[in-house]
Chains A and B, each alone.
Chain A
Amino acid sequence: MSDVLEVQYDTLARQHATARLGMWIFLASESLLFGGLFALYAAYRFIYPAEFHAAAAHANVVLGTINTYLLLTSSLTVALAIYETKHARRHRALILLAITIALGVTFEVLKGVEYGQHLADGIAPGGWYSYAALPAHGAVLYFTLYYLMTGLHALHVLGGLCALTWLWVLLYRGRLTPDSHVALELGGLYWHLVDLVWIFLWPLIYLVT
């Protein structure tokens, strides 16, 4: 994203406003991608309520909740990073953006730990499931959905981390200025979407009682 005014725009402000709109349209699209999985979750939970509850008791509520707090905080830090950039305090912005990335990385690591714990128990998706203590269909479907939904989310977190890292480099090199930092705004918007999806995933996966 450069500061060069493209030929189809009359002002840089218009170009930047269009970029923001483009990102919002993209976020709307992404919500429908997750929407399909939420629809499957809703259907299967309706069909197998008791088995979902039994399976969810094996979810790691501690790790899931820590991850929730991590993501909420990372939304704060990325929003503040943009705020500081707008007010020409580049050093603070760099630190805040670095914290955001660190929180995201921690999220992924904890997710990996969680997956490892489940796999060690034989809890794997679909036909690979071998957890003898919970053989019921509904339990298998709960865990398959768990892997699909948190897996798709984790992929999006990964993409977000790559984007935020690239943006950190741009900020470091002075390419994001108080008057022109729309790329950072777009990265922030994407990161908030990742947080929004987790806000709904968390109760559905971990707070099933």
Chain B
Amino acid sequence: MTKRDPSEPSEAGGPSALGYVVVWIVLVALATASLLSSQAVSGSAGLAISLAIAAAKAALVAAVFMHLAYGRAVHRMAFAAAIAFFLLLVLGVVADVGTRSIASSYVDDVGN
């Protein structure tokens, strides 16, 4: 085994200090945009916009602050797996609740 392990990218990788600050400015701008758009757009469209902006913010935090873009591939795999199973859980539950009124032969107490 060599002393310096060349397969450790995040020892050397990562943005400059300015890079971090620029990302922060973008994050603050996105948050402000989300706040303003929630006043302007409501309902399902408003939800979609705010979640899309949140996803963009999360991607920036993960890629830059957490070094996901600069580190090992297996970190990206762990992150992708977390997202995939998180979505599976949420969508799997909503798939039930969301289709009860159109795909069931009874009506339950909550009027579905």
Task: Enumerate chain B residues within 8 angstroms of A25, measured Cβ to Cβ.
Answer: 78
Q: Give the distance to chain A from B98, nearest Cβ to Cβ, in Å.
A: 6
Partner of B8, one of A13, A79, A208, A209: A13
Q: Are B89 and A35 in contact (CB under 8 A)?
A: yes
Most chain B CB within 10 A, of A16, A42, A76, A203, is at A203
Q: Give the distance to chain B from A52, nearest Cβ to Cβ, in Å.
A: 11
Q: Give the distance to chain A from B80, nearest Cβ to Cβ, in Å.
A: 9
Tell me the chain A residues, 187-209 only, with Cβ under 8 Å from chain B.
188-189, 192, 195-196, 199-200, 202-203, 207-209
**A21-38 vs B, Cβ < 8 Å mask (1 yes, 0 no):** 100110110011001101
How far is B81's CA from A35's CA once the two chains are assembled, in angstroms? Answer: 13
Q: Which residues of A contact B (CB under 8 A)?
A: 10-11, 13-14, 16-17, 20-21, 24-25, 27-28, 31-32, 35-36, 38-40, 42-43, 46-48, 61, 65, 68-69, 72-73, 75-76, 79-80, 83-84, 86, 188-189, 192, 195-196, 199-200, 202-203, 207-209
Task: Enumerate chain A residues within 8 angstroms of B2, measured Cβ to Cβ.
Answer: 11
Q: Which residues of B contact A (CB under 8 A)?
A: 1-5, 7-8, 10-11, 14, 17, 20-21, 23-24, 27-28, 31, 34-35, 38-39, 41-43, 46-47, 50-51, 53-54, 57-58, 61-62, 64-66, 71-72, 74-75, 78-79, 81-83, 85-86, 89-90, 92-94, 96-98, 110, 112
How far is B54's CA from A196's CA once the two chains are assembled, in angstroms? Answer: 9
Task: Enumerate chain A residues within 8 angstroms of B10, measured Cβ to Cβ.
Answer: 17, 20
Task: Enumerate chain A residues within 8 angstroms of B17, measured Cβ to Cβ.
Answer: 80, 83-84
Task: Enumerate chain B residues within 8 angstroms of A46, measured Cβ to Cβ.
Answer: 94, 97-98
How far is B4's CA from A14's CA once the two chains are assembled, in angstroms? Answer: 9
How far is B14's CA from A84's CA once the two chains are assembled, in angstroms? Answer: 12
The main secondary structure of chain A at its interface with chain B is: helix
Q: Are A42 and B1 in contact (CB under 8 A)?
A: no
Q: Are A11 and B75 in contact (CB under 8 A)?
A: no
A-B contact pairs, 23 of them (CB 8 A): A10-B1, A11-B5, A16-B11, A24-B75, A24-B78, A27-B79, A31-B83, A32-B85, A36-B89, A38-B89, A39-B92, A39-B94, A43-B97, A69-B28, A72-B27, A75-B61, A75-B65, A79-B20, A80-B17, A199-B58, A207-B38, A207-B46, A208-B47
Q: Are A203 and B50 in contact (CB under 8 A)?
A: yes
Q: Give the distance to chain B from A69, nearest Cβ to Cβ, in Å.
A: 7
Most chain B CB within 10 A, of A38, A68, A199, is at A199
Task: Enumerate chain B residues within 8 angstroms of A195, measured Cβ to Cβ.
Answer: 61
